[in-house]
Structures are given as structure tokens and as C-alpha cells.
Amino acid sequence: MDNINIGLLGCGVVGTGILRVLADKRDILQKERGLSIGVRGIVVRDLNRCRDDIVDATKLHTDWMHVCADDDIDVVVEVMGGTDSARAAVLYALRHGKSVVTANKELMAKYGDEIRHVAREYGQYVRFEASVLAGIPVVHTLETYFHMSQIVRLRGIMNGTSNYILTRMHREGLAFADALRAAQSLGYAEANPDMDVDGIDAWCKLQILLDCIGVPQDARVGTEVEGIRSVSQSDIRTAQTQNCKIKHVVSAQWDLESGLVNWHVGPESITLDDPLYAIDDVQNAICIDGDASGTITLSGPGAGALPTASAVLEDVLKIAQKLQVSLSV
């Protein structure tokens, strides 16, 4: 039996979801993979906060340095959010011989190059599947599939909040403000929804994917990041008369001659035959066009505690496999 110990930075909704999935899948992992994943330390801001029963209070710490430097921890999982403390913790963990899994899109969009560089420098692994579309394995697909086909376009719905709001506007004729309040009441939108409805969240996810593919910063040509605040019921009705829907779409188009990638983030009117037409509510999807492969569409839950936890733990498993191979050589 191989044992992998993780240090968990953050124990909110996603962190608790990780503990829940680990508990549910423990026997399957041991039986089918011969692997035991243990949680050695959990970093939280408040030790006195009431938590789910799945959280072992004896493993709680407030000092992330203590957990990141623990010699018995193999992988640090960062789900605490934000950028400043998360960046410091991730870099500290890598420099102390820990591989890292993160679900933090802002962190990877802003500091991804630096984090990958430090990981290479210290011979560690960094994985970030959950930072893009939670349970949709787009990073895995881009890393493992497109060796014999040149990617020529990415296009997707990459923010569940915006998609839910636009869906309600289409189905029920709600104004933007009313649809936003409905999303907030159901927990699909934050009290401050700017990142989602202004397109910033979707833009961050696109930058992570372009990083993953290896597109240099100076080859990325973008016009603007536009959200959905300007979408009116008049726009919705016009689209409906044309059998179209307005969706918030992220796109990147490769110019194979120049090597430039033209990207755009904003609302589009899409037709019935478009793969994104049927993606409603909080679902996400991405279409990957290859010159030989054609269009591959991945869709599913782009957010949520359990889908995100599942993606995080898939990354932990990938690192565990690499560690097992290196130890056996």
C-alpha cells in the first residue's frame, strides 16, 4: 500500500468537499489503486469556526508555513482563494519540496508562469485542472490529446453565473437586475458579482488555457473583455426572433501564418446548430477545434463543491502516480 499525505490550505466549501470525496472514495482507492491518501494538516483562518463533522479538528492550523514545510506532506492542495497569501504559500511549498494542486483561477491567471517556473526549478509538480472549469477535464484534454492535431480555435461558455442569468432572461423575460438577484438568492452569484458578470472570471480561465497550450503573452491579441450588464430584454427578444440565444462566450482563434492568437470575451448571439446553444443554467462547455481532429466539445458542471473537489483529487492522483514511478526507479 502506497501512502500520499496532503496538506490542505483552506477548508471552506471546496476544502470540505475534498474531505468528503476522500472519505467516500477511500476504500475504492485502496482496493483499485493500492493507494491511501491521508490529510495530515488543514490550514484555516479561524480555529473556532463551526465546521462540518468531516473536518478533523485535531489537524487544524492557522500557520500555512507549518503545513507547507512538514516533511511528511507530499502534496499541498491550495483552495483558500485570493492571490497574495495563496501565491506566497504555493511558492513556499514548492521550495520546500512539495508538489502543488490548486483550484485558484486568479492565482494561475496572474502568477501561473512564475509558479510553473519555480516548480521546474525545484523538481516539483503543479496541477490546476479545477482552476478552469471545475469538473470538466479541459486541461487534461489539452495536455494529453492534441499531439497530432493543431489547435486552431477555443470557444466556450466558461462562467456559470453569467450563463444562469442569461438563461433566466431568455426563459422568463427577466431584466438583468432581476435575473442577477435570482442567481444570488440561489447561491449562484456572489454578493459582489463583478468578477462573473463583467467577464473577468471567464477571461482568467481563458488565460490559463492559453498558458497551458504554451501561447506566449506577446502572441495574444485581444480587443476587450465585455460582461453581460449591457444585455437587455430587447437584445434577447431580437435573438429569439432569429431562433438564436445570447450567450457569454470566450473565444480564441489561431492565425497559423502569423502565430498570433486573437481572443475575445463577451456576449454573442448564437444559432440553433451551435454546440453552445443548448448549454443553459449553470452548465459550462468548451469547444476545441483541431485542424485534424475537428471539433471536440466538453460540457458539464463548471462550478460547485463536489465537481471542484473531484477535479482537485484527480490532480492529486496524477501527482501520486508520478511520485510512485520516481520512487520505484
CA distance 123 to 180: 45
For strands 60-61 and 35-43, give the pairing.
parallel
CA distance 160 to 286: 12
Same domain as 160, residue 119: no
Report the SS3 class of residue 70.
coil
Please tell me whether 11 is known to bind a ligand: yes
Same domain as 293, residue 205: yes
**Number of Cβ atoms within 10 Å of the Cβ of 73:** 24
Q: For residue range 273-314, what is the model confidence (pLDDT) as tens digits?
A: 999 999 999 999 999 999 999 999 999 998 889 999 999 999
Same domain as 225, residue 272: yes
**Number of Cβ atoms within 10 Å of the Cβ of 82:** 11
Q: Active-site residue 205, yes or no?
A: yes
Confidence of residue 118 (pLDDT cuts 50, 70, 90): very high
Angle between helices 105-121 and 84-95 (to 10 degrees): 20
Q: For residue range 204-236, what is the model confidence (pLDDT) as tens digits?
A: 999 999 999 999 999 999 978 999 999 999 999
Confidence of residue 2 (pLDDT cuts 50, 70, 90): confident
When mean pLDDT is compared across 47-56, 125-134, 191-200, 265-274, the lowest value belongs to: 47-56
Same domain as 263, residue 231: yes
Q: What is the CATH number of the domain that holds 25?
A: 3.40.50.720
In total, the chain counts a number of residues equal to 329
* Model pTM score: 0.92
Same domain as 239, residue 174: yes
Please tell me whether 212 is known to bind a ligand: no
Q: For residue range 140-153, what is the model confidence (pLDDT) as tens digits?
A: 999 999 999 999 99
Same domain as 146, residue 213: yes
Please tell me whether 15 is known to bind a ligand: yes
Q: For residue range 46-83, what is the model confidence (pLDDT) as tens digits?
A: 998 989 999 999 999 999 999 999 999 999 999 999 99
Please tell me whether 114 is known to bind a ligand: no
Q: What are the residues facing 295 on neighbouring strands?
A: 289
Same domain as 292, residue 202: yes
Residue 279 belongs to domain spanning = 140-300
CA distance 62 to 45: 6
b/e per residue, 143-173, with b = 16+ CB within 10 A? eeebeeeebbbbbbbbbbbbbbbbbbbbeee
Q: What is the CATH number of the domain that holds 167?
A: 3.30.360.10
The residue behind cell 516548480 is: 119
Number of structural domains (the chain) is 2
Same domain as 9, residue 156: no
Which among 25, 59, 98, 205 is annotated as catalytic?
A: 205
Same domain as 153, residue 121: no
Same domain as 217, residue 72: no
